[in-house]
A = this chain, B = another copy of it.
Amino acid sequence: MAEKIGFIGLGVMGNGMARNLLKAGFDVTVWTRDAAKAETFKGLGASTAATPKALAAACKLVISCVPDAAAVHGIALGEDGLAAEGWKGGLLVDCSTIAPFEAQEIATSLKEAGADFLDAPISGGKKGADEGTLTIMIGGEEAVVARAQPAFAAMGKNIHHVGPQGAGQALKACNQLMVAVNLMGVCEAVAIARAAGIDPKVMREVVSTGTGRSGVLEGHGLRYLEGTLQGGFRAALMKKDLGIATAVGAHYGRYQPAAGLAHQLMTGLCNAGHADLDNAALGLLYDKLNGWQGDAS
């Protein structure tokens, strides 16, 4: 019989993930402070719990997908948290993006309460969450990963157990680092193209058939050049993720000048008032520093 699943964090990503668990036939209990969301999920067949502590009493496997490490910490170890009265045999699968060492600390505390932990950050955006095609990067023990496998299979398509506790978060940091570094290259190439009298959309199309191609040139490049910067993955979250990537590098004493530069530029973009735009809005900062006053393209 499939394990009962608790779910915390019915946001942009979690909403689709919890729905896919219900669709796959899991007995799902949600905890949310939002009464309207609770009603919606009741209507879909979910149960609700009053606190994470109550959720832990009802379910031995809980999935969380929340904005930051403080939120994960509160859910797991807070006064009304999952482990508030111990949680023998429990398992928290955390799909949030936090630092590897933060994941490891929470894992250690949960272990003392009798519970396991997996870091399992996700990639693929709202579309991937809604369609159940997420990439999931998992750090933790083999047997614990096996326990959560049915739940992963309901939410994602590319499911990778990449190493020990924290490794999932480290791999997510690698992805985010490359996104942000590649984005600097796109912004600088657009500036050169414009200066030289080349339509940057043509530049994007030509290079997309060449060695300079990237997911960022395709996606971010298009959103930057078309000015479609509302919604999407917010610059504030990319800044947070680059903070994690550079902290991981610093923790291990690694040399990472490009990641550091990307972190600084994304910080500047947020400080300049664009924290809530798609992170492709880094192009706007470059435009400013290049004196670009033209139209979107």
Q: Which residues of A contact B (CB under 8 A)?
A: 100, 123-124, 135, 137, 158, 160, 162-164, 166-167, 170-171, 173-182, 184-186, 188-189, 191-193, 195-199, 202-203, 206-207, 209-217, 219, 245, 248-249, 251-259, 261-262, 265, 286, 289-291
Contacts and interface: CB of A to CB of B under 8 A. Distances in A.
Q: Tell me the dominant secondary structure on chain A's binding face.
A: helix
A177 B184 CA distance: 10
Copies in the complex: 2
Contact of A163 (B135, B178, B197, B259): B197
Contact of A175 (B123, B178, B207, B259): B207
Nearest to A209: B158
B167 A212 contact: no
B249 A188 contact: yes
A179 B208 CA distance: 11
A258 B188 contact: yes
A173 B158 contact: no
B256 A178 contact: no
Given A181-B258, A209-B135, A215-B214, A249 B196 contact: no
B188 A185 contact: no
B249 A163 contact: no
8 contacts: A158-B209, A171-B207, A188-B259, A191-B254, A191-B256, A213-B215, A257-B265, A258-B258
